[in-house]
Amino acid sequence: MIVEVEAYDGDDPAAHGFRGRTERNASMFGPPGHAYVYRSYGIHWCLNLVCAEAGAPEAALVRALEPTTGLDAMRARRGVDDARLLCSGPGRLCQALGITREQDGLPLDVPPFELRARPAAVEVVTGPRIGLTRAVERPWRYGLGGSRYLSRRFVR
């Protein structure tokens, strides 16, 4: 269950697509409903849900999940036991799910991906995005209120 995301668009100096299309960020330019997976700090993979229409780069970075199924497989891939450390961070969740460049550009509505709507209304909290040096002030981080699986607490 997705509990934390951040938004990025083409007018955003902090976004990868801001300076145009490159080999790495190509899938961020659409079509929508696909995955954008990129290498972070040379070590980790990070997963975005592409929202781009009409060739403008837009995507939501998935920053944290609450693991609900496949806990043992996640533990095996991550090498940790604590459920709260399995997916609480963009690099962590990709390691837990086994996501790499192989999934870059794949549609999100067919296997191995599957997206479902939330079962009921939830409380969404917002705040500044994490780890940026540009456009720091934009409150484009969204989280599930009170979740214990966020990458970092939201200040209330």
Partner DNA sequence: GTATTGATCTTCT
Partner DNA sequence: GAAGATCAATACA
Residues in touch with DNA (CB under 7 A): 6, 8, 14-17, 19-20, 22-25, 28, 36, 38-44, 46, 48, 59, 61, 78, 80, 85, 89-92, 129-134, 151
Amino acid at 110: V
Closest approach, Cβ 90 to DNA, in A, equals 5
Closest approach, Cβ 43 to DNA, in A, equals 5
**Cβ nearer to DNA, comparing 40 with 125:** 40
Per DSSP, helices labelled H in 30-146 are: 71-78, 90-97
Closest approach, Cβ 29 to DNA, in A, equals 11
Q: How far apart are CA 111 and CA 103, in angstroms?
A: 11
Closest approach, Cβ 25 to DNA, in A, equals 7
**Cβ nearer to DNA, comparing 62 with 119:** 62
Tell me how crowded residue 130 is: count the other CB atoms within 10 A of its CB: 15
**Cβ nearer to DNA, comparing 82 with 114:** 82
Burial 55-67 (b: 16+ CB within 10 A, else e): eebbbbbbbbbbb
- Residue 62 contacts residue 2 (beta carbons within 8 Å): yes
- Residue 47 contacts residue 98 (beta carbons within 8 Å): no
**Cβ nearer to DNA, comparing 24 with 125:** 24
